[in-house]
């Protein structure tokens, strides 16, 4: 179900009242972490007893989580090696790990010295440093599981060089033995019939989590991140997926309010729960009427695909607002589509670049209404070189824009009056979708493998990533039809209420993306995709949930 993401500062703030009341949050966090690690070890090795676990321990409470979890694993028979990376760490955590039998290697952190008599913690001779480094590398190479407890929410960007070089060397040495490209995260051995997997788990957040590519060799690439209390907003950025691995959220009893969230991650459970079903006393108008202005003499197929997916999504009625020729194609396939004018609860404009005369007629028909519009493809050009849609026919109505990166680059170049390239968009999809939503005043759905939906207040909805099969001609037309149908249905339900809050509309658009993803898992081209929408909507309406 929906998981809301919060800035780390909000999560740390929510810990405060519980800590003040004496609640041992670290015990909750480390217990859950130990359970997770135990599951991983059981799955990869069959048992915890005899497994080898290496803990990178930093200077703060993040190390505390890792060390208490390691102590729990040691009590279940795991061999634990703690690598302390600073001249201080979480004392109680380290004591607990030692009591449970952990060995400790103090990895040297200070500058090299040539004086062999200086061997205090952090200051040691080159020879001793080399030996300690070799010990750490040996331990890392034979570990079944490595815990990144270097920095958590208190971490600043940029690992100190002694840690960066350690990670770099480890990644290189693991890469030499690995049959995957994810050097250091997974080592497979075949031939003897055994298969060992090394798993790297980041505690709360991977240390030095940065969306930048630079220096990525020196950073933690986790297989899993076990995060506590609330989903940290930085973990959901698609650019950090290679560093976080799969993110697992552990509830430690914090009180967080959705209003403080900056994003929402939605998945199939949300679709199962939120997809609109016909009401027993409903009728075609209460289920929503969507107008589709899509397709042209040049691209008639876009009209067919957009209309097909809207019809198949289970909306009350679909009106074809385009040319006679497109309408004939559409009605040939879907006899229920109506060409007569009349009431509408949402309109989709733009797929297949409909001719101007139909666009003008449609804009006239929508004047003095608050009917929401979904602008796709050619219709995106209607959002012009203004700070927002204020003062245009788009004002006072919900507007959803559905660009891909190239279209968003053109749109933003117009809105911001500077050249924005699609490669810049691809380098920061969330940031640019938010920028476009804020400056246009519209909901912006940026299409991609990880589609991002941004509302004008910056709030984002991230639907789970779609299948690669969706990257095919006409797929966007299908998506526009689905979103138009859903927006029409929700708007029909709420037409006598105040307008849907932007975040709610963004959520509905997110459900549309999930329908599209589910259809994409059943089809390999856009024609079949439009048909698969009927299958998906049919399961949601008649069965109550998707068969997946
Ligand atoms: N407060 C609590 O009781 C709880 C804390 N928890 C854990 O504690 C973490 C936060 O703990 P802390 O606030 O101690 O923060 P960290 O454990 O991230 O460590 C902060 C320390 O690291 C140093 N540091 C940070 N970045 C550095 C860098 N790039 N180079 C050198 N030194 C750097 C800081 O100066 C500070 O001393 C969470 O992420 C979570 O894992 C959880 O156990 C939940 C409860």
Domain ranges (residues) in the chain: 3-259, 284-543
Q: How far is the CA of 223 from the centre of ligand 1 (A)?
A: 21
Q: Which of 402, 379, 377 is nearest to 453 (CA)?
A: 402
Instruction: Give residue 214's pLDDT.
Output: 80
Q: How far is the CA of 317 from the centre of ligand 1 (A)?
A: 56
Q: How far is the CA of 11 from the centre of ligand 1 (A)?
A: 13
Q: How far apart are CA 394 and CA 403, in angstroms?
A: 17
Q: How far apart are CA 150 and CA 280, in angstroms?
A: 57
Q: Which of 6, 55, 58 is the pocket-test mutation for ligand 1 (most atoms within 8 Å of CB)?
A: 58
User: What is the per-residue pLDDT across 386-412, written as a single tens digit (0 to 9) for each?
Assistant: 555 677 888 889 999 999 999 999 999
The annotation status of 406 as a binding-site residue, yes or no, is no
Instruction: Give the CA diameter of the chain.
Output: 93
Q: Which of 403, 505, 385, 386 is nearest to 445 (CA)?
A: 403
Task: Count CB neighbours of 190 within 10 A.
Answer: 8
Among 3.40.50.10260, 2.60.120.1360, 2.40.30.60, 3.40.50.2300, what is the CATH number of 3-259? 3.40.50.10260
* ipTM higher than the 0.85 cut: yes
The annotation status of 449 as a binding-site residue, yes or no, is yes
Pairing relation of β-strands 460-463 and 452-454? antiparallel
Ligand 1 atom at minimal distance to the Cα of residue 205: 39
Q: Which of 22, 36, 62, 253 is the pocket-test mutation for ligand 1 (most atoms within 8 Å of CB)?
A: 62
Q: How far is the CA of 119 from the centre of ligand 1 (A)?
A: 27
The annotation status of 404 as a binding-site residue, yes or no, is yes
Q: Could you say which residues of the chain have pLDDT below 70?
A: 110-123, 175-196, 385-389, 496
The annotation status of 352 as a binding-site residue, yes or no, is yes
Q: Whose Cα sits closest to atom 15 in ligand 1?
A: 154
The annotation status of 291 as a binding-site residue, yes or no, is no
Whether domain 284-543 has CATH 3.40.1190.20: the reply is yes
Q: How far is the CA of 58 from the centre of ligand 1 (A)?
A: 8
The annotation status of 232 as a binding-site residue, yes or no, is no
Q: How far apart are CA 209 and CA 185, in angstroms?
A: 16
Give Cβ neighbours of residue 320 (< 8 Å, ≥ 6 apart): 292, 303, 307, 326, 327, 330, 331, 337, 338, 339
Q: Whose Cα sits closest to atom 19 in ligand 1?
A: 60
The annotation status of 476 as a binding-site residue, yes or no, is yes
| Pocket, ligand 1, Cβ cutoff 6 A | 15, 19, 25-26, 29, 58-62, 65, 151-156, 158-160, 203-204, 228
Give Cβ neighbours of residue 104 (< 8 Å, ≥ 6 apart): 81, 82, 83, 84, 94, 97, 98
Q: How far is the CA of 132 from the centre of ligand 1 (A)?
A: 25
Q: Which of 148, 152, 156, 205 is the pocket-test mutation for ligand 1 (most atoms within 8 Å of CB)?
A: 152
Q: How far is the CA of 379 from the centre of ligand 1 (A)?
A: 49
Q: How far is the CA of 55 from the centre of ligand 1 (A)?
A: 15
Q: Is 284-543 the same fold as 3-259?
A: no
User: What is the per-residue pLDDT across 445-481, written as a single tens digit (0 to 9) for each?
Assistant: 999 989 999 999 999 999 999 999 998 989 999 999 9
Instruction: Give residue 385's pLDDT.
Output: 57
Q: Which of 6, 61, 87, 227 is the pocket-test mutation for ligand 1 (most atoms within 8 Å of CB)?
A: 61
Instruction: Give residue 281's pLDDT.
Output: 87
Give Cβ neighbours of residue 126 (< 8 Å, ≥ 6 apart): 112, 113, 114
The annotation status of 79 as a binding-site residue, yes or no, is no
Number of helices and strands in the chain (H, E): 17, 18
Element (H, E) at 246: strand 246-250
């Amino acid at each position: 179900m929906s998981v809301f993401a919060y800035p780390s500062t909000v999560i740390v703030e929510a810990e405060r009242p519980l800590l003040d009341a004496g609640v041992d949050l670290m015990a909750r966090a480390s217990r859950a972490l130990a359970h997770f690690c135990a599951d991983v070890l059981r799955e990869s090795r069959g048992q915890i007893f005899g497994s080898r676990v290496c803990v990178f321990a930093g200077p703060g409470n993040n190390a505390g989580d890792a060390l208490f979890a390691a102590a729990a694993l040691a009590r279940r028979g795991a061999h634990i090696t703690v690598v302390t990376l600073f001249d201080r760490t979480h004392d109680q955590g380290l004591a607990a790990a030692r009591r449970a039998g952990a060995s400790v290697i103090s990895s040297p952190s200070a500058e090299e010295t040539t004086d062999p008599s200086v061997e205090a913690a952090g200051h040691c001779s080159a020879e001793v440093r080399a030996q300690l480094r070799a010990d750490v590398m040996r331990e890392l190479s034979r570990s079944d599981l490595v815990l990144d407890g270097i920095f958590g929410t208190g971490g600043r960007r940029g690992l100190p060089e002694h840690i960066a070089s350690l990670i770099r060397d480890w990644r290189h040495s693991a890469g030499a033995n690995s049959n995957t490209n994810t050097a250091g995260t997974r080592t497979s051995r075949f031939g003897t019939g055994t298969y060992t997997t090394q798993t790297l788990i980041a505690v709360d957040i991977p240390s030095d989590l940065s969306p930048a590519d630079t220096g990525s060799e020196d950073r933690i690439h986790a297989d899993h991140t076990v995060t506590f209390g609330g989903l940290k907003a930085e973990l959901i950025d698609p650019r950090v997926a290679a560093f976080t691995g799969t993110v697992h959220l552990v509830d430690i009893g914090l009180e967080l309010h959705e209003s403080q969230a900056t994003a929402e991650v939605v998945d199939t459970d949300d679709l199962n729960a939120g997809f609109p079903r016909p009401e027993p006393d409903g009728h075609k108008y209460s289920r929503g009427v969507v107008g589709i202005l899509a397709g042209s003499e040049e691209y008639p197929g876009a009209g067919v695909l957009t209309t097909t997916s809207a019809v198949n999504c289970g909306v009350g009625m679909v009106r074809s607002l385009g040319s006679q020729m497109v309408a004939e194609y559409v009605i040939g396939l879907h006899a229920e589509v109506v060409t007569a004018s009349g009431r509408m609860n949402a309109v989709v404009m733009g797929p297949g670049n409909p001719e101007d005369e139909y666009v003008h007629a449609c804009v006239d028909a929508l004047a003095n209404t608050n009917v929401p519009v979904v602008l796709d493809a050619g219709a995106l050009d209607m959002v012009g070189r203004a700070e927002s849609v204020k003062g245009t026919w788009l004002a006072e109505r919900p507007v959803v824009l559905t660009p891909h990166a190239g279209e968003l680059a053109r749109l933003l170049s117009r809105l911001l009056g500077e050249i924005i390239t699609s490669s810049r968009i691809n380098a920061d999809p969330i940031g640019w979708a938010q920028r476009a939503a804020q400056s246009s005043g519209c909901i912006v759905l940026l299409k991609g493998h990880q589609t991002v939906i941004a509302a004008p207040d910056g709030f984002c909805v991230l639907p789970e990533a779609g299948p690669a099969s969706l990257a095919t001609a006409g797929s966007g037309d299908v998506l526009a039809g689905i979103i138009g149908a859903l927006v029409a249905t929700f708007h029909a339900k709420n037409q006598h209420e105040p307008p849907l809050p932007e975040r709610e509309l963004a959520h509905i658009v997110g459900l549309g993306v999930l329908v599209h993803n589910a259809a994409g898992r059943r089809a390999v081209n856009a024609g079949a995709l439009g048909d698969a929408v009927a299958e998906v909507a049919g399961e949601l309406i008649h069965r109550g949930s998707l068969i997946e």
